[in-house]
Amino acid sequence: MADEHFLIRGGKILSGSVEVPGAKNAALKMIAACLLTEERCVLENVPRITDVARMLAILRALGVSVEEEQKARRVVITAARINPERLPVEDIRMLRASIVLLGPLLVRCGSVRIPHPGGDHIGARPLTAHFRALEQFGAAIEFDDSFINIRVPPRGLRANKVVLPEFSVTATENALMIAAGLSGETTIDIAALEPHVQDLGAMLSAMGANVALAGPHRYRVRGSPKLHGASCKVRGDPLVAFTFLSAGLLTRGEVAIRGANPEDLTLPFAKLQEMGVRVKVHGDTFAAADPPAVLQATNVQAMPYPGVPSDLQPLFALLATKAEGISLIHDPLYENRFRYVEELLRMGANITHLDAHRIAVRGPTPLTGVPMASFDIRAGAVLVLAGLAAQGETMIDGVHHIDRGYEDLDGRLRELGADIQRVEE
């Protein structure tokens, strides 16, 4: 397939409403959970993005039945048979979220040989938390070349008290899925509480386990070795929702967002209020109410939920270019998360790297369109929004990164009035 680019002519005011599709981070984990049962599972509101397509391709390669109704965003998965020896190496290496297949495959198959998963190049994301969790369930882990070999001991995995070494979202999800498939009670401490992690817990409960919050960052799981099928709906994507809200602010328009839970964005909305933006909420619809012409500087630190997600700090950095004063952006999680800054500098932004994890943004500064390259999902979306807010023409390479997490981003922006085209080289 030919390389694709976005061609953007900035300066258009965006207005209207947009419905948010299902969350990538929820859908991928719920798809993995379907492997825990031989019975039929139905997932609704599954986003049509390439990461989901790749995860479904992995399941098909394993011998799992996958039926898609794309227009309805509905997927039916029946994992009556699984052949772990047919894991597609290249798909695994291209999809970081495939790491959450470890838990269900270990429960169903007893051993797993999997290559190191890939994903965005946003910095070191070691798998230590996953390995610590697996070992506490009794699994044995060995490494050879670029593969991870995990075996269940003769006595089997056991329910246990699991203590994670950090608030790892995917390690928490793997631990939840393993615990759900075992007899007995497991507690998981230092657990991530992101909304999509809680959704996974609700799905596992619908499949016959009992997953409950049992204190600050603790889950209690009463599992069952015979889980059954279930029907679940993927929540609206709060990251996509905040992207469209920001698009309206950056172009001085008003965009109403439907289908995402505003409570998933409590602290991001509070940070917007510090910048002078009040978000009005009516049910599951929200929009910025009479935003000021010039925003106010603020400080943002990426943190685990309920903090500002690391995925949203690039959007705050872009908004800070339209704010009066100096904004400090701190992302302690990933050292390469600021790669997009070099592209914004080329557009005229005034940003200083303080160290690998902190930047200072001085505003307001006008942006001018230039050719740019996307490096990951969220950075790509930020560059698109920068192009919408800039004067002149912007060309963005690396559209395939954006397509991994955003369903038809260019089409949805055009419906709001943006001048953006997808072009082939």
Last residue of a domain, one of 233, 251, 277: 233
Q: Is the pTM of this model over 0.75?
A: yes
Binding-site residue ranges for UDP-N-acetyl-alpha-D-glucosamine: 96, 311, 333
Same domain flag for 197 and 253: no
> Which residues are documented as binding site for phosphoenolpyruvate?
24-25
Question: Are 191 and 247 members of one domain?
Answer: no
203 and 275: one domain?
no
**Can you give the residue range of the structural domain that contains 180?**
24-233
Mean per-residue pLDDT pooled into runs of 10, the chain (425 residues): 86 97 97 98 97 97 95 95 92 90 95 74 64 95 87 92 96 98 98 97 98 96 97 98 98 96 97 97 93 95 94 97 98 84 97 96 97 92 98 96 96 98 89
Tell me: do 87 and 222 sit in the same domain.
yes
User: Does residue 308 sit in the same domain as residue 327?
Assistant: yes
112-146 exposure pattern, b = at least 16 Cβ within 10 A, e = fewer: bbbbebebbebbebebebbbbbbebbbbebeeeee
| pLDDT at residue 395, as a whole number | 97
pLDDT for res 144: 83
**Does one domain contain both 211 and 298?**
no
Residue 60 sits in the same domain as residue 78: yes
Domain boundary among 233, 263, 293: 233
3-class secondary structure, 425: coil
Identify whether residues 303 and 179 lie together within a single domain: no
Note the pLDDT of residue 383. Answer: 97
The CATH number assigned to the domain holding 68 equals: 3.65.10.10
CA-wise closest residue to 78 among 37, 44, 43: 37
144/260 same-domain check:
no
Convert 148-208 into a string of H (helix), E (strand) and C (coil). EEEECCCCCCCCCEEECCCCCHHHHHHHHHHHHCCCEEEEEECCCCCHHHHHHHHHHHHCC
Two structure tokens written together for 89: 């190496």
Instruction: Name the domain count of the chain.
Output: 2
DSSP tag of 265? G
> Hey, what are 100's tokens?
């959450």
Cα separation, 95 vs 118, in Å, equals: 5
What is the model's pLDDT at position 120? 42
The pLDDT of residue 70 is 82
Could you tell me if 8 and 118 lie in one domain?
no
Do residues 354 and 285 both lie within one domain?
yes
Q: What is the pLDDT of residue 122?
A: 40
CA separation for the pair 352, 289 (Å, rounded): 31
What's residue 157's pLDDT?
95
Show which residues are catalytic: 120
Q: Of 190, 218, 233, which residue constitutes the final position of a domain?
A: 233
291 and 314 share a domain?
A: yes
